[in-house]
Amino acid sequence: MEFQFGIPSHVTFGRGSVKKVGEVLEEFNAKKVLCVYDQGVKQAGIVGQVITYLKAKKIEVVEFANVVPNPPDTILEEGAELAVKEQVEAIVAVGGGSPIDAAKAINVLITNPGPIHQYEGLNLVKNPTKPLIAIPTTAGTGSEVTAVSVITDTAGEKKMVIGGRHCGADVALVDPDLTIGLPPAVTAATGMDALTHAIESYVSKLASVPSDVNALKAVELIYKNLAEAYKNGSNIEARTNMLLGSMMAAYAFNSALLGLVHAIAHPLSVYCGLPHGVANACMLPDVMEYNARDEKVQKRFRDIAQAMGISVEGLSDKEAADQAVAAVRELSQSINIPSLEEAGVKREQFEQLAEATLNEEISIMVNPRDVTEQEVVKLLELAYSTKKAGV
Ligand SMILES: NC(=O)c1ccc[n+]([C@@H]2O[C@H](COP(=O)([O-])OP(=O)(O)OC[C@H]3O[C@@H](n4cnc5c(N)ncnc54)[C@H](O)[C@@H]3O)[C@@H](O)[C@H]2O)c1
Ligand SMILES: [Zn+2]
């Protein structure tokens, strides 16, 4: 048996854990911080809360509010220059994957020369970075615990993954109360992203015992709580389970990596502007069906069906796998995930999307089945129109 497994962040999980942000920074002896966020989290009142806790500990705050979804490389230098000019001693990232990933990349550029593109890949960042505290406000990416930052390369028209040493957060304050106000559509899309992480890492060629344990528990938590969190956003138990599930899915994919769903989702964000979660959610059921044509994958999907609470006794692996796919399709419909057509994707873009998908080398490499451009076009075609579960 051979595997690699590791997580960069120390986690404090639970209601009210955000209140510890000042205390944690005191432990790092940081008296001035760069707070990285986007307008949505500010409007939700979360940034104000965090700044209050920081000021209560007499920590000076420099704000960087320029993050947008699928954060582009173009904002990073500005963030790093501000941090250097203001001589901040630590970074606090508040938000979903976009602000957390932007903060990770800004942090790299504070102590390492730019441009950021030279660090695309694994373990290419050489100089240690400043302490980074991540405070997630979506139950989706799990970026608060991964050693990965995903940045849009605007000139190269692709998503870059910068990962490995010095790329993660040091501390994650994971507080379910911060996700209570997440709008239903964002809850649905980010939750399906987390489910995709769990499923893709479980069938990945790099899956290991520790990633499997986390992936299956994540499937259970997310599958059993997403519809409730979507319908009844103030249900704290559902929100807590979603945040735990998204975090555990990230424990799994940080080592096992992802697969074909993400390989297609990245170009869908770059070329069609789809939010990351929507792009994954649109593709997940059809890609599962594609992967499930492999007998080994059917066995793995049997475990996933079981983790979802489906009784698989007496079913063949194929039947159990079909049930897992049908359950994901049904969940997706119950939380109003759009078809690609409804999300604004045009058929004329399929060839370009398929070509870019095959360039997502890492995800393609670890996906359990090989794929050609033609097969990707077929998958896009399938996800283009809404289908009823089981059809
Ligand atoms: N680093 C990783 O490990 C990793 C993994 C998967 C995806 N990603 C990346 O993360 C990004 C997506 O992150 P995301 O899905 O969390 O979305 P996001 O951070 O882009 O946020 C989506 C929207 O929700 C709003 N929002 C966030 N929290 C809110 C709250 N509590 N209340 C109200 N509004 C809120 C934001 O303002 C934004 O408009 C993509 O760029 C993706 O590629 C990173
Ligand atoms: Zn994702």
Residue 99: cis peptide before it, omega within 30 degrees of 0: no
Residue 70 · residue 159 · CB < 8 Å: yes
pLDDT exceeds cutoff 80 at 369: yes
Average pLDDT over residues 327-352: 97
**Does the C-beta of 200 come closer than 6 Å to ligand 1?**
no
pLDDT exceeds cutoff 60 at 142: yes
Q: Specify the fold of 184-384.
A: Dehydroquinate synthase-like, alpha domain (1.20.1090)
Residue % of the chain over a pLDDT of 70: 98
- 3-state DSSP call for residue 162? strand
Residue 112 · residue 102 · CB < 8 Å: no
Q: Which residues face 270 on adjacent strands?
A: none
Q: Taking the mean position of all CA atoms in its chain, how far away is CA 23? A: 27
Q: Which one-letter amino acid corresponds to residue 286? A: D
List CB contacts of 370: < 8 A, sequence separation 6 or more: none
Closest among 78, 79, 86, 159 to 117, alpha carbons compared = 159
Structure tokens at 158: 């692709």
Closest listed ligand to the CA of 200: 2
pLDDT digits (tens, 9 = 90+) for 262-294: 999 999 999 999 999 999 999 999 999 999 999
Residue 310 · residue 323 · CB < 8 Å: yes
pLDDT exceeds cutoff 60 at 389: no
Tell me, in angstroms, the distance from the centre of ligand 1 to residue 95's CA.
7
The domain limits of the chain are: 10-179, 184-384
What band does 390 get if pLDDT is binned at 50, 70 and 90? very low
pLDDT digits (tens, 9 = 90+) for 104-135: 999 999 999 999 999 999 999 999 999 999 99
Residue 182 · residue 190 · CB < 8 Å: yes
Determine the CATH number of domain 10-179. Answer: 3.40.50.1970
What band does 4 get if pLDDT is binned at 50, 70 and 90? confident
Half-sphere exposure of residue 111, counting CA atoms within 13 Å on the CB side?
A: 16
**Does the C-beta of 143 come closer than 6 Å to ligand 1?**
yes
**CA–CA separation, 343 vs 112, rounded Å?**
38
Residue 180 · residue 44 · CB < 8 Å: no
Residue 119 · residue 230 · CB < 8 Å: no
Q: Which whole-number Å values give the CA distances from 117 to 121, 168, 234, 284, in the listed order?
A: 9, 17, 40, 29
**CA–CA separation, 16 vs 240, rounded Å?**
12
- 3-state DSSP call for residue 35? strand
Tell me, in angstroms, the distance from the centre of ligand 2 to residue 328's CA.
16
Closest among 335, 186, 379 to 275, alpha carbons compared = 186
User: CA angle 173-41-146, nearest 5°?
Assistant: 40
Tell me, in angstroms, the distance from the centre of ligand 1 to residue 229's CA.
17
Residue among 98, 201, 282, 284 whose CB has most ligand 1 atoms within 8 A, to mutate: 98
Q: According to the model, what pLDDT value does residue 1 have?
A: 86
Q: What mean pLDDT is reported for the chain? A: 97
